[in-house]
Chains A and B, each alone.
Chain A
Amino acid sequence: MNAQTTFRVERWTAASRTAIAVVIALAVIAAIAPFWLGPGAMDRLTILFVYIILAVMWNALAGYAGLVSVGQQLFVGLGAYFTIKLADWGVNPFVGMVGAAIIVGVIAVPLSFPMLRLRGGEFAIGMWVVSEMAHLLVNLDPLVRGETGTSLISLNAFDAPLRRNLIYWLALAALLVLLGGLFMLLRSRVGAAIQAIRDNEEAAASVGVRVTSTKRMIFIFTAVGVAMAGALWLATALTFQPKAYFSVQWTAYMIFMVLVGGIGTFEGAILGAVIFFAIETWFGATGVWYLVGLGATALIFALLLPRGIWGEIERRTGLRLLPVGYRLEFKLPGAEP
């Protein structure tokens, strides 16, 4: 390389341009779907959106911030719980869902201070313990009536087709806002910080990356996202039984989706959610063997394919659909342009 070499910093590749175009097209199609999809399909799509949100959020926490949490069900439960509370206070249920997610985000701020000081397994199980405590405390609220639970009754004020459409659109909107927000975050300076932390925390800190505040940002962001997912789940299920929402099963699903899809990659989390959704649609009814299969698959992937399916694809082909990185393009003197 000499002084005559010029280079350009590129953010987009042909593949990523295509991918973004496809994503936008899909979003538009999805938005107008209620006009031609049946109720069953819309319910399923809503659930798919919820799964994608959960996968991307858990991936952001574990894959980007390096924080493996076995307690994200804390936010699922709290998101649903506060939706119920707000509805009980007369707030419109849809506004309440978003409000609940924001409340959970606010709670996540003071929670992050002690929790982020924990490492590895202590953080993982620490979050689980906090989730168990939240479960117990929620049970104390007379509104919830212990494990019997209660329902999001105010949703019944809307007639069924409208309710379904509104829930669908809210889920789609949440999905696009959360994923879009995360995407923009990754493309920004914070994103570079995140990827630096992911690759080597100490090295990142030594070049001035604000590790803890970056992690905090991700912690709070993912809390909001997971809470939103919990609220949306409540909207589709209508009933709130604390045991179902504070169950560690949620973490199991999130771990499965991210491990299979690809930890640390945006595309991988989405892929994992889609795969999980497909498996659940076909096998969910087979009962307990389904769960055994999930656990076994997660175990096998953790041991043999730790990068997940997308991770392997990315490694072998270098394919990157979502342009969150930078590329350097060289033009050597005398070379063809």
Chain B
Amino acid sequence: MINTIVQGLLLGGYYALIAAGLSFMFSVMRIINLAHGSLAVLAAYLLLVLAQNYHLSPFVGLIIVLPLMAVIGFLLQRFILDRAMQAGQLVPILATFGLAIVIDNVLFELFGANTRSLSNFIGSLSYDSIALPGDIYVGELAVGTFVLAIVVLGGLQLFLSFTRYGRAIRATAEDPDTAGLVGINPRMATAVASAIALFTVGLAGAALGMRGTFDAYAGASQLLFAFEAAVIGGAGSVWGTLIGGIVLALAQTFGAKVSPLGFLLAGHGVFLVVLFVRVWLAGGVRAFLRRPA
């Protein structure tokens, strides 16, 4: 039982890590990037290529891939998301969905249907454990991911609260028009925010590849997990994302004990329950079962 909780907690760290970028993007730009999962998978494949063809350990590979992801984020915002945001609420969802399909299928074209993993390239880290009191073993990698998630989330929070650019991004998020009047370039602010978001996505992709397997179409499920974690925790709240990831993971881990399908069912179920409860709390019972408006 304790073991289940601990494993769930650590899995939650991974979910928080991948949800961080999605949540950040949503709180700054009000965009839900449906290509989020696919971009994480892209990062994982990039690290794979570097590891297989150039014999670079994924940790070294990150030195190349993370800045690359940031640049991709910057360009993504400037050329696709900025335009999409202007066209209305629905368009960013449609545009990022189209982008996700493009990324998924190009990856499939390039890499085929086989599942891959980065675990072959990180030596014993993929299975080393630390022994905890009470006969519980936790994977070093899982702990590392959890710590990384906290560092990333904390870093984002500190950045937003205490740095010049963080303030500029917050201001642009609240009122881009007035931000311009104060001397902030709103397009630059959102592009930097996207660059930061995709930087974290790169980290998440690395974690995904190292802890397990991935294939060209894994983006969809990663997007769903990231979204669920972000929403459970309260979309846009940095520490909420950590809590959301943990809740999701715990639900999944306990669900898995009940049945093999329970993993996904419990996760999705918890998400829907939290979503509806939150909506219900916002409007009261009567609003929930509202008589025709």
Q: Do A and B come from one complex?
A: yes
Question: A residues bordering B, Cβ < 8 Å?
Answer: 62, 66, 68, 70, 113-114, 117-118, 120-122, 124-126, 128-130, 132-133, 136-137, 139-140, 205, 210-213, 216, 248, 251-252, 255, 259, 263, 288-289, 291-292, 294-300, 302-303, 306
Q: Which residues of chain A have C-beta atoms less than 8 A from B106's C-beta? A: 292
Interface size class of B (residues with CB under 8 A): 35 or more
Given A113-B288, A129-B224, CB of A121 within 8 Å of CB of B261: no
Instruction: Find B95's partner among A129, A130, A212, A302 (CB 8 Å cutoff).
Output: A302
Contact B109 A117 (CB under 8 A): no
Nearest CB of chain A from residue B259's CB, rounded to whole Å: 9
Q: A132-B268, A139-B261, A302-B84 are in contact. Are A252 and B292 (CB under 8 A)?
A: no
Indicate which residue in A117, A130, A295, A297 contacts B100 across the interface (CB closer than 8 Å).
A295
In the complex the two chains form, is B289's CB within 8 Å of A295's CB?
A: no
Cβ contact within 8 Å between A248 and B87: no
Give 30 A-B contacts (CB < 8 Å), ordered by A residue.
Answer: A62-B90, A68-B90, A70-B93, A114-B279, A117-B283, A120-B93, A122-B231, A124-B93, A125-B32, A125-B34, A125-B223, A125-B227, A126-B275, A129-B268, A130-B272, A132-B224, A133-B269, A212-B293, A252-B97, A255-B97, A263-B90, A291-B101, A292-B106, A294-B101, A299-B80, A299-B95, A302-B87, A302-B91, A302-B98, A303-B84
With A136-B264, A292-B102, A306-B88: A128-B289 Cβ-Cβ less than 8 Å: no
B72-120 residues with Cβ-Cβ distance < 8 A to A are: 80, 83-84, 87-91, 93-95, 97-102, 104-106, 108-109
Q: Shortest distance in angstroms between A107's beta carbon and chain B's nearest beta carbon?
A: 15
Q: How far is the CB of A292 from chain B (nearest CB, A)?
A: 4
In the bound complex, do residue B293 and residue A213 qualify as a contact, i.e. CB atoms below 8 Å apart? yes
Closest B residue by C-beta to A216: B292
A214 and B178 alpha carbons, distance in the complex (Å): 37
Those 6 A-B pairs whose CB atoms lie nearest each other, nearest first: A295-B101, A213-B292, A121-B32, A299-B98, A298-B98, A212-B293
Of all chain B residues, which has the CB nearest A134?
Answer: B268
Complex partner residue of B272 from A133, A205, A212, CB under 8 angstroms:
A133
**Which A residues are CB-close (under 8 A) to B84?**
302-303
- Asked whether B290 is an interface residue with its Cβ less than 8 Å from the other chain, the reply is yes
Q: Does the CB pair B275–A212 fall under 8 Å?
A: no
Contact residues in A for B93 (Cβ distance below 8 Å)? 68, 70, 120-121, 124
Contact B94 A298 (CB under 8 A): yes
Q: Which residues from chain B sit less than 8 Å from chain A, CB to CB?
A: 26, 32, 34, 80, 83-84, 87-91, 93-95, 97-102, 104-106, 108-109, 220, 223-224, 227-228, 231, 235, 261, 264-265, 268-269, 271-272, 275-276, 279, 283, 287-290, 292-293
The answer to whether B279 and A68 have CB atoms under 8 Å apart is no
Evaluate contact between B105 and A292: CB separation under 8 angstroms: yes
List, in ascending order, chain B residues with CB within 8 A of A302's CB: 84, 87, 91, 94-95, 98
Chain B, residue nearest A66 (CB): B90
Q: Which residues of A contact B87 (CB under 8 A)?
A: 302-303, 306
Cross-chain contact A303 with B275 (CB below 8 angstroms): no
Within 8 Å CB of A299, what residues of B? 80, 95, 98-99, 102
Q: Which residues on B sit within 8 Å (CB–CB) of A118?
A: 275, 279
Q: Kindly list 9 other residue pairs between chains A and B, CB separation below 8 angstroms, not including A132-B268, A298-B95.
A: A68-B94, A118-B279, A129-B224, A263-B90, A292-B102, A292-B105, A292-B109, A299-B80, A302-B91
**Cα distance, A263 to B90, chains bound together (Å):** 11
In the complex the two chains form, what is the Cα distance from A248 to B224 in whole Å?
A: 12
The closest CB in chain B to the CB of A115 belongs to B276
Cβ-defined contact, B98 with A295, below 8 A: yes
Instruction: Give the CA-CA distance A263 to B95 in the complex, in Å.
Output: 14
Contact assessment for A122 and B105 in the assembled complex, using a CB-CB cutoff below 8 Å: no
Point out the residue from A114, A120, A129, A295 that lies within 8 Å of B228, measured CB to CB.
Answer: A129
A292 to B34, CA, bound (A): 16
Shortest distance between the CB of B201 and any CB in chain A (Å): 17
Q: Is B101 a contact of A113 with CB atoms below 8 Å? A: no
Residue of A125, A298, A302 with highest tally of chain B CB at under 10 A:
A302
Q: How far is the CA of A125 from the CA of B265 in the complex (A)?
A: 16
Determine whether the beta carbon of B276 is less than 8 Å from that of A114: yes
Interface centre among B101, B105, B288 (most CB of A within 10 A): B101
User: How far, in angstroms, from A297 to B223 measured CA to CA in the complex?
Assistant: 22
Q: Are A114 and B288 in contact (CB under 8 A)?
A: yes
* Cβ of A146 to closest chain B Cβ, rounded Å: 10
**What is the CB-to-nearest-CB distance from B170 to chain A, in angstroms, rounded to a whole number?**
20
Q: Give the most central of A120, A139, A263: most B CB within 10 Å.
A: A120
Within 8 Å CB of B95, what residues of A? 298-299, 302-303
Q: A117–B277 Cα gap in the complex (Å)?
A: 11
A68 to B264, CA, bound (A): 24
Known: A125-B224, A128-B224, A302-B94. A295 touches B102 (CB 8 A): yes
| Given known A125-B227, A299-B98, contact A120–B89 (CB-CB < 8 A) | yes
In the bound complex, residues from chain A placing their C-beta under 8 Å from that of B102 are 292, 295-296, 299
Do B97 and A70 touch across chains, with their CB atoms under 8 A apart?
A: yes
